[in-house]
Structure 1
Amino acid sequence: MSDVLPDLSPDLCARLREAFLAARYDTDGVVEALGGAAHAALGRGEPVPALRASGDAGTLGTFIRLFLLGEAEPERAVRSALGGLPVEDAVASGLLRADGGYLRAGLDVRPHGDDQGSWWVVSDLDSDQLGAAVGEDHVLGVGHASLSLVRATSRRPVDTLLDLGTGNGVQALHASRHARRITATDVSERALRLARGTFQLNELDVELARGEWFAPVARRRFDQIVCNPPFVVGPPRVDYTYRDSGLAGDDASALVVRQLPAFLTDGGVGQLLASWLHVEGEDWSDRVSRWLPQGTDAWFVQRDIAEPALYVGTWLRDAGIDPRSAEGRTKAAAWLDWFSEHDVEGVGFGFVTLRRTEGVPTIVCEDLRQAYDDPLGTEAAGWLDRVEWLRGHGSRLLDTVFRVPDSVVLERVDEPGDDGWRTAIRRLHRIDGPGWQHELDELATALLAGCRGLLPLSDLLGLLAVAHGEDETELEDAALPVVAELVRHGMLEVVA
């Protein structure tokens, strides 16, 4: 990577935007030009079908080969495609690189969209595109982690939003759908340059500020904060600013969780990706709960756990380092030694939702490692609503009328017995959202069968106690925690 910082001026971005629009270099245009099969192959890292398909796509094909496929294009074709943007200006800015009589991309500029439209995201070329290792200040493109945070973020309208550690700016792009004013920060000047290019190219007005962590927004508060921090855990070093914080272990994630609530307005929400250590003899939920300041609702959702060797190998390959090479062996040994010295058995990864509250805070840590399709952001917003309802009505659950929503089904697993089939497992499934599951006993199953939006919970428990010869008070004591958990997971709805 060149030490020269890219310089994407407002005029250059405006002219580039015009060229992209004229060529239909957007998410829909690229899919239409390539066709479904070639576009899917490109997503799998197989460029040849897309290269073949782009040959008949005219100016759009030039942009596809230049920015998506990393091909060298004849200067004449690129000059024609850029229209009012002189090639010389594009090269001087760092957007393009001269290669004899050909031109190559100097930056990665690619369409990225949602169900409302398309944007362009500016980032650095990866190691495959460069043909060399990336630099320490490499600005990552839109990867799986970024997309997972996009899907895990609530999109309810807010006035002010902070994108902490903006990188290429993709979180702020999605935030523009629901936030009136956006501030984006980063410790890297290169990242801010490219993020500014992203915002100018998409005609978005985003406030940019440089600095570490929350320093650029000291004494300010926001209605929502999103953060994809450098959450890689291990020895305190910085190989790449996009992933390494220079803090030891999971201290980067801990720092964000500890400090973020102080920068929220009352009732404001923060959502971030995070990693946490699984240490021998310690429950991970106890570890992350200790990070929280007072007055904070928190939902920690663990999506994956990686054992140390797998974790190290994955991140070495992510940096373009062969674990079998001398460099790979040296770094892997030091990393694994650090894990061993600190009794690390695994590394957890997931999403954290935080809310500043004046009430008694709710803190929940749970595993969500099953596959699911629905975005978690909608579920996170609903979880916060349900937690708030329980905070105000938890003492009055017995007076509440509930119903089981249509998205919840009951699975029974029967096994053979001496007197025929008997039910061994009763499992409640929510078939939307993240697919929550709860195993039930016979009494809980009968109770939920009565939750049809007609009788208050106290009446249902009274009937159940009579029918099964149970003590009503004991039944209430056992049922209330289960009911509260089902409400939190959206498996019981409040009717009245």
Structure 2
Amino acid sequence: MNADQPEFSPELCARLRDALLRAGYTADGVVDVLGGQAHAALGRGEPEPAIRATRDAGELGALIRLFLLGEPVAEVEAAAALSPVPIADAIDLGLLRVATEGVRAGLDLRPHSDEEGFWWVLSDLDSDQLGGEVPADHVLGVGHASLSLIRATSRRPVGTLLDVGTGNGVQALHASRHAAKVTATDVSARALALAKATFLLNGLDVELLRGEWFAPVARRRFDQIVCNPPFVVGPPRVDYTYRDSGLAGDDASALVVRQLPGFLANGGTGQLLASWLHVRGEDWGDRVARWLPAGTDAWFVQRDIADPGLYVGTWLRDAGIDPRSPQGRAKASAWLDWFDGNDVEGIGFGFVTLRRDDAMGAAPTIVCEDLRQAYDDPLGAEAADWLDRVAWLRANADGLLDTPFLVPPTVLLERVDTPGDEGWETTVRRLHRTDGPGWQHEVDELAAALLAGCRGALPLSDLISLLAAAHGQDEDELSGAALPMIRELVRHGMVVPA
């Protein structure tokens, strides 16, 4: 057996699953033992309340100390908690490692849940758990990026789904809820070994293929593709396979956006995380739009922009490298030199939603926009609805004036009034959608009056005629101003066809 590629057999995974279920090592079981306060403290990186809560929790307490708290456990206690998995097998596979105080976790094994249930996910220990830098073939756990892609992925039922760069397999786990068949790929043999163990542990049948990017599925097509690629931007190098592609700058994100639609069935959709450079003198939207192949609708949502110094420091710490150390300073210097040499002012990060349409009779819809405000609702449902809305706009491009529209009850008109010579004067009128991503649009007095009439009864042309007569405006000019606004509000779900 190759220790770098743990080979968890179906039989061992079945025994391990029995042990975890017997002990109650589930998402709910962990919360029940820790209690709300200790669980919240653990999330803040404060382990002591959780350690105290597990002292008298039997086998479940031992598993929590091992795999969630990184604490040593006496070998006899660990053996009881993992039975019927022999302790020697757990050590041989790297699930546990021998320590002076007994045994410690060799892998990260933790419950991960959604609204329908839970799974167990196997990954490598992070830099904090290791107490130092992670190895080059490190398999990342379920982090913020993974969780954000989970929330940004449409969960409408599909036949086939491809997870490119599966890592620990968490995207494929969620995909198993809505896809009849899931295929997962990765360039890392270690990632595939841990993902296979994760799937076996959860009793899931996932096709696993090894290779770079889309090479393992050449000439195949899928109804949906998800991808959390190694999107870290900078010099062309591979220090860590989970984050570095070997391509320069944002070429990894560009490659995925450019190639992904070619592996979609007609009408298929893709969701991915991506990064893009903000280059001096260049609009970021123009940059990413150039990546797209023909016949592809695309929605680029920018969630954050990092300055180069903050970006480099964040990723150094992520790998367990102290930016103050000689190694950290050398890496930071080379990285920042590359940014300076390529006129990089910032690094954008966000989500990309794509749809292939072979029968597209008009130009595709490509929208690049900022969504840096906080919001609560998952973006995946919104992305699916966004594609529906742009398809409706394309099909009804010549019929908007004949359409009755409706402002949903979740859309409010907010006003900002300031004191003036004649009392309060409205200086800002803002439409605010209170669900989904919480879109906001500022509108003028005439636009607010037009939208007030959108109650599903009269077509848009009649409302414009009434508005022109009431305010002494030219009807054609009002139509010319109203149509682009209506299209944008429809895309954002703030106005809907009645």
Give me the TM-score of the superposition, normalised by structure 1: 0.98
Equivalence map 1:89-488=2 (5 Å): 89-100=89-100, 102-357=102-357, 358-359=359-360, 360=362, 361-488=364-491
Query: Partner amino acid for 1:384?
Result: L
CA distance in structure 2 between the partners assigned to 1:490 and 1:65 by the alignment: 47
Query: 2:72 touches 2:101 (CA, 8 Å); kept in 1?
Result: no
Q: CA deviation at 1:89?
A: 1.3
Q: Which moved more, 1:91-100 or 1:483-492?
A: 91-100
CA distance in structure 2 between the partners assigned to 1:130 and 1:294 by the alignment: 46
Match of 1:35, SS state, is helix
Aligned residues: 494
Asked if residue 7 in structure 1 is aligned to residue 10 in structure 2, the reply is: no
| Counterpart residue number, 1:494 | 497
Q: CA deviation at 1:3?
A: 5.7
CA distance in structure 1 between the partners assigned to 2:101 and 2:352 by the alignment: 50
| Counterpart residue number, 1:49 | 49
Q: CA deviation at 1:125?
A: 0.8
Q: CA deviation at 1:101?
A: 6.5
How big is each residue's C-alpha offset from its partner over 1:41-66, in whole Å with a ceiling of 9 and x where there is no partner?
A: 11111111111101121110010001
CA distance in structure 2 between the partners assigned to 1:165 and 1:371 by the alignment: 28
Q: Which moved more, 1:5-14 or 1:366-375?
A: 5-14
CA distance in structure 1 between the partners assigned to 2:451 and 2:4 by the alignment: 65
Gaps of 5+ in 1: none
Q: CA deviation at 1:95?
A: 1.2
Query: 1:7 touches 1:94 (CA, 8 Å); kept in 2?
Result: no
Give me the TM-score of the superposition, normalised by structure 2: 0.98
Match of 2:4, SS state, is coil
Q: CA deviation at 1:422?
A: 1.2
Match of 2:112, SS state, is strand
Query: Partner amino acid for 1:374?
Result: D
CA distance in structure 2 between the partners assigned to 1:132 and 1:412 by the alignment: 53
| Counterpart residue number, 1:20 | 20
Query: Partner amino acid for 1:316?
Result: L
Q: CA deviation at 1:317?
A: 1.0
Match of 1:203, SS state, is coil
CA distance in structure 1 between the partners assigned to 2:492 and 2:4 by the alignment: 51
CA distance in structure 1 between the partners assigned to 2:82 and 2:337 by the alignment: 52
Query: Partner amino acid for 2:209?
Result: A
Q: Give every structure 1 segment of 4 or more consecutive aligned residues whose post-TM-superposition deviation is greater than 6 Å.
A: none
CA distance in structure 1 between the partners assigned to 2:240 and 2:31 by the alignment: 33
Change (3 A) 1:430 1:101: closer
Query: 1:121 touches 1:168 (CA, 8 Å); kept in 2?
Result: yes
CA distance in structure 2 between the partners assigned to 1:31 and 1:24 by the alignment: 11
Q: CA deviation at 1:192?
A: 0.1
Q: CA deviation at 1:395?
A: 1.1
Query: Partner amino acid for 2:375?
Result: Y
| Counterpart residue number, 2:78 | 78
Q: CA deviation at 1:99?
A: 2.3
| Counterpart residue number, 1:37 | 37
CA distance in structure 2 between the partners assigned to 1:171 and 1:56 by the alignment: 35
CA distance in structure 1 between the partners assigned to 2:208 and 2:473 by the alignment: 63
Change (3 A) 1:474 1:101: closer
Q: CA deviation at 1:4?
A: 2.9
Q: CA deviation at 1:132?
A: 2.7
CA distance in structure 2 between the partners assigned to 1:419 and 1:491 by the alignment: 33
How big is each residue's C-alpha offset from its partner over 1:18-69, in whole Å with a ceiling of 9 and x where there is no partner?
A: 0011111010000000001111111111111111101121110010001111
CA distance in structure 2 between the partners assigned to 1:230 and 1:131 by the alignment: 24
Q: Which moved more, 1:53-62 or 1:151-160?
A: 53-62
- Report the identity percentage: 74
Query: 1:167 touches 1:186 (CA, 8 Å); kept in 2?
Result: yes
Gaps of 5+ in 2: none
